[in-house]
Amino acid sequence: MPASIVYTDLDGTMVGPRGSFVHTADGEVTAEPAAALLELHRAGVPLVLVSGRTHAQLQEAGRVFAADGWIGELGSTVSWAGGRETHLLTGELPAEFAGRAPVEVMAELGVVDALAAAWPGRLEWHAPWSATHTGDAMLRGRVDTAEVDAWLADRGWGWLTLKDNGRVPRTPRVTLAVEGDPHVYHLMPRGIGKGLAITWDLARRGIDPADAVAVGDSVSDLEMAPAVGRLFVTANGAAVPGMAEAMAALPAVTATAGAMGLGWAEAVRASL
């Protein structure tokens, strides 16, 4: 059956190198993603962007791709009606901080500064993109997320978790001592995720989860699998060490033959 709605990650999934919608993972020019997007809109299937990007960043991308809505900051915010309506999800943020943005609370508690001091040279703000986040603290570096979560719990911050949103190319902005490309991390309250935000949005829309499709490329995108009828993982994501095993443990997850935009186009066409 054709999908009633498609939720899609952006970077490394819908868009390729440097956020390009017209280049393959190898840098070749292609019209396939744009053609698939046109087919999706002609079929009248809503498109919802799901990303670690902020509401403001997704609002601009949403206009470009004619998206029906977007989920930002790895599930912290859900927006619709062209961005005029936005709901902030705060998960397990302690009741004493109710009504406040998680980033504001983390700054007050000094969590990020303490993390950077505990892992010197291995974690830093993912500047400049981290500046406008409200639901999560966006960091970059190379750490073991399980170790960080245990460290947070030992200090009474167990309501927080560090999520790995995948590798990004190293640029001159990176001041870390780690070798190779850093990963992007999102420090955020537990009980927040792409899948949970999709579940909230589907309920708001009155759409059966079995009729929804998602497309992604990272470990954080696997959280979408239980919330939809089928999850497609682009070939570049499926090739990451450990992803094949993680995908096999989830229901209705399929790897595409193509990487990045080509894989995204493949997933969209399979959903129509």
pLDDT tens-digit series, residues 227-253: 999 999 999 999 988 999 999 999 899
Please indicate whether residue 175 or residue 68 has the higher confidence score (pLDDT): 68
pLDDT at 169 over 80: no
Q: How confident is the model at residue 258 (pLDDT cuts 50, 70, 90)?
A: very high
Q: How confident is the model at residue 61 (pLDDT cuts 50, 70, 90)?
A: very high
pLDDT at 38 over 90: yes
pLDDT at 170 over 80: no
One-letter identity of residue 46: P
Q: How far apart are CA 140 and CA 256, in angstroms?
A: 28
Q: How far apart are CA 136 and CA 145, in angstroms?
A: 15
pLDDT at 156 over 90: yes
pLDDT at 22 over 90: yes
> 67: closest CA among 15, 27, 22?
15
Q: How far apart are CA 140 and CA 216, in angstroms?
A: 20
pLDDT of residue 18: 86
pLDDT, mean over the chain: 94
pLDDT of residue 173: 77
What global pTM score does this model have? 0.86
Q: How far apart are CA 127 and CA 102, in angstroms?
A: 18
Q: How far apart are CA 82 and CA 70, in angstroms?
A: 9
